[in-house]
Every structure is written in structure tokens, then in C-alpha cells.
Structure 1
């Protein structure tokens, strides 16, 4: 569908639901990535989608000069798509991350340089060392079991506007909206770069914002650790 994105206009969409704790770091990282991309000839527009926010997320975005759009969806698929619709005309490339995530400086430039319809990157967990050892072990075991799978993370995803429009965008799904989008792209023979080394730093919180997302996985693994500890204590 696409062959390259030299001198692209990049639209960056960040859904947020009561993210005042993480949003400043997220926006600072995005601004650095935007400046890096602009230094290489790209144009960048950032938008934060405030989904049912009741905290200071809107104020924080305004303090950084970032455009916002508000929805009351409670639905990450709808929030991401609303962000796309809020972008100006002429966008060539769409980049998606989450409000509890920090992207590397070269994130946008690397996505546009891939030359494919979509780019799916990886994630690191922040506060890794502060997680209980049992939880870290279970998370690593889970990752090893899925090491050959092609991972899709909404916190680290890029797609050309041409491909996105051909797919009619994100579906209004409360979870796995990112996987659904890429599966439809694959079914249409779109080209994908699996950029495992292009990683973002995302929150290791176990209080899930999206059902069946990373936070939900960590919560499940945390509960398994607690169940094992309780069983061991009973046996003792």
C-alpha cells in the first residue's frame, strides 16, 4: 500500500483516562521525539484524547501546548479513532502510544523510515526492579512462552494514513483494538515491520485501564503469585 514516508506529516494520538500521574513524562518524551522527527524534515501534530477524564489530564496537556479532544466513551478503540479524526488534513503517518508510556527520541523517525504500511514495536516495563521477584519471574516466563509470536502493542504502533483509511480505522473495541487493526491489515496483504528493538517504556502498574491489556496481564500474574504464596503458607 505504501513505499516510504520521506518528509511525512505525522499525527500522534494518545488516549488518556485519568492519567495525571503519567501524562507529563509521556508528553515530554513525545515532544522530544517530535523535535527529532522535525529535525529530519517531518511535520508532527500531537493530540491527546481525554476519555472520561475527571483529573488534571486536560490541564496538563494544555500546559504542554498539546491539542486535546474529549470523549465519554470508556473505549480505547473509539478513543484512538476519535484522535485520528481530530488531526488536520494531510496526515501521512499515524503513530499511537499510551498516556502511561514514554517513547524514545528516535521513535517517530524510525517508524517513518521503515517503509512499510505499519510498524509494530516492543515494550519495556518501567519500575521493573521494584516489582516482586515472583512477579518478574512469571512475566518473563510468559514472555518466553510467546517469544515467537508477533506482538502488537497499542502503546507502540504506527500505520500509514492510506492503510488506516483503507481499513476504516480502529473498531470500537474495549480491548485488542490494536491486534484487530493489524490482523485486518495482514488479511489485506499489507506490509508490516515487526520492530522488536524499537521499544517504549510503559507502566508496570497492575491496575488495568483496558480489559485484557498489559495491566490486566500483570494483575493476573500478580494474583497467581499470591495464590502460590497462600498455598505454600498453608502447607507449611
Structure 2
């Protein structure tokens, strides 16, 4: 296990017209418990027109650690992915080529006091850590809470059928940019956040896994975020909450389809060490309807079993078939009961 305690921490935050939210974020960052060396906060203000820069600069002197500020302009096209990548670039620039730990959150979020310690502990076990995201006043959005519980159950089921040693015991499904941490070398190796208008966070986690890095979802690493209905990402949390307010039905993929993919991940991860054996290779290829030569070609490009499993297994054949949340909950309950029966 690589010791990471001495590594410097840089907290990277993008913000666009967040003058109202920034004081609470800065208060939460100032209250973080930290060890030596002291963390550095990098705030990327993305073409703000609401006085965000004045808010941040007035707070800078009172911060217990260094606060770096960069101001973007409208001269360059931007979106959620571009802005987060710009904030992370500030962090890399601060590290100046040295290894460090990059944390990122959102301007409307508040990391818990032990966020850095929890992130360090997670990254002692993995290369990228996705923490839990709790909504303020979440009880007021019962429908969203229900779907989050469903996805937590679904991810827990995934780790039953496809366990990995770096996963947290207190795991969850979240993959949001409001709560991520990673080694700087890993971030650079996968090319960073893509310039996407939404899902730049989930895409980064997928890129990391496909590159063979260990992605850990750790519930001990907690950030509280807002339940606002207006956000930057067109398909982010704010738009999901608006859709629920409008009475749109919640529809999700059938858990059977996801379970198929995760079983194959487990089989491919386990079988990676046997690729050189012709019979074993043919058996693995047959599971996926692929040729043994194709399987071997992919394996040769993979640095480890995790990369191979994530790259070789296709999307589930029925992943586009959606069902109501109630139907999915019932289907997942059946899968869980069958697993318990098999385990017994």
C-alpha cells in the first residue's frame, strides 16, 4: 500500500455566478480539519457577472490556508466539464509536477469537517475516491431520496456479485463532481475531465476504471449540497429535481441488465490471469460472443484485470429497456433474495 499522508492536498472548485452560495462554501472550507502540509484552495470563477470575485477576494485574507483565484472570461466557450477542468488545471499548476491529492467540490456544496482525512483514508486504498453527497433539506424531496436509496441498493448488489478489494464497506452509488478526490498522477494519466456539458464527473470515473485505476465509492467522505432547482449542467441534479416537481415518472434500467454486466465484469477480472491459456481464453470469449483473438488483443492493451474487465464487457443488451422505479425496486428485491439463497 502506498502511503499518502505527506502528499499535499489541493481543493479545486469551479463557480459560475455563485455569489450567494460561495460564503457558505468558504466557511465550510475554512472549518476543515487538516494536517500538514496545509491544503490549498483553487477557485476558478467562470465568467461570473454577479460579484462572485468580490465575495471570494474579500474572504481570502481570513482563510486559514492559501486561496488561489483565477477568473475566466466569455471569450472561450465553457460548460461544466470545461470549468471543472480549469479548476483542476489550477491545482496541477500549484503542484508544479509534484504528486498530490486533488479534491473537487461544487460552489453550492459544503464538505464535512473531516473531508480531507476521509479522502486521504480512501486514497490509501484506491486511486480515485467518490464520496457521498447529501442534499440539504433532502427530506422535502422524498421522490429523489427514494431513487437514491434504490441506486445505493443497486451498487451494493453490484459489489456482492463483483467484489473488489478497494471498495469501501460503507459504499454508495454517487459519482458527482461535488465530492471527488484523486491522485494528481492518475488525473493526468486519464486526461482529466472531458469538456462535457454534463456527466463529466461520471465519465472521469469510467475513464479511470477503463484505464485500470481503482475507483472507490466511500460513504465516509461526505459533502452536503443544495436542493436547488436551477443548475448549470442540463442533466444534473437540479434538472432531475425539477422533473420530479413536474410529476415526470421515474424510469430506470432493469436491474437484471446491470446484474448481467457486473457478473461478466467479475468473470473477466478473474479470468484475466488465464488469457494465455487457449482453452480458458476461448471460454471467456464465448461468454461475450467474441472471438478468442479479439479477447487477446484487448487484453494485451490492458495494464491489469480491472482495465480488461471494464473494456471488454459491453453494455447490457437490455439496458435501454426502462421500467418504473417501483418495478425496478421489486426486481432488485428478487435479485437480492436469490443472492441470499445462493450464498446460504
TM-score bracket for this pair, using the shorter chain length:
0.7 to 0.9
Equivalent position to 2:186, from 139, 153, 163: 163
The answer to whether the 8 A contact 1:50-1:58 is kept is yes
Secondary structure at 2:85 match in 1: helix
Please name the residue that 1:234 is paired with.
Answer: none
The higher-RCO structure (CA 8 Å, 6+ apart) is 1
The answer to whether the 8 A contact 2:81-2:195 is kept is yes
Please name the residue that 2:89 is paired with.
Answer: 85
Q: Does 1:138 align with 2:143?
A: yes
1:113-151 C-alpha deviation (Å, 9 max, x unpaired) = 22121110111111335x3xxxx2211221233222332
1:66-100 C-alpha deviation (Å, 9 max, x unpaired) = 32112234311111111122231135010000000
1:50-69 C-alpha deviation (Å, 9 max, x unpaired) = 11210121111111213211
Q: TM-score, normalised by structure 1?
A: 0.85
- RMSD of Structure 2 on Structure 1 (CA): 1.8
Q: Does 1:111 align with 2:119?
A: yes
Find the aligned partners of 1:17 and 1:210 in 2 and give their Cα distance: 12
- In terms of Rg, which structure is larger? 2
Find the aligned partners of 2:114 and 2:87 in 1 and give their Cα distance: 22
Equivalent position to 1:63, from 58, 62, 69: 58
* Gap change, CA 1:107 and 1:53, over 3 Å in 2: same
Q: Does 1:211 align with 2:206?
A: no
1:202-235 C-alpha deviation (Å, 9 max, x unpaired) = 0100112211111111111111179xxxxxxxxx
Please name the residue that 2:135 is paired with.
Answer: 125
Please name the residue that 2:298 is paired with.
Answer: none
More displaced, 136-145 or 160-169?
136-145
Find the aligned partners of 2:44 and 2:244 in 1 and give their Cα distance: 30
Number of aligned residue pairs: 216
Please name the residue that 2:104 is paired with.
Answer: 96
Q: When you count helix as a share of all residues, which structure comes out higher?
A: 2
Find the aligned partners of 2:242 and 2:220 in 1 and give their Cα distance: 25
* Structure 1 runs, 4 residues or longer, greater than 6 Å off: none
* Gap change, CA 1:55 and 1:91, over 3 Å in 2: farther
1:153-202 C-alpha deviation (Å, 9 max, x unpaired) = 10000010010010111110111001111101111221122112322110
Q: When you count strand as a share of all residues, which structure comes out higher?
A: 1
Please name the residue that 1:46 is paired with.
Answer: 41
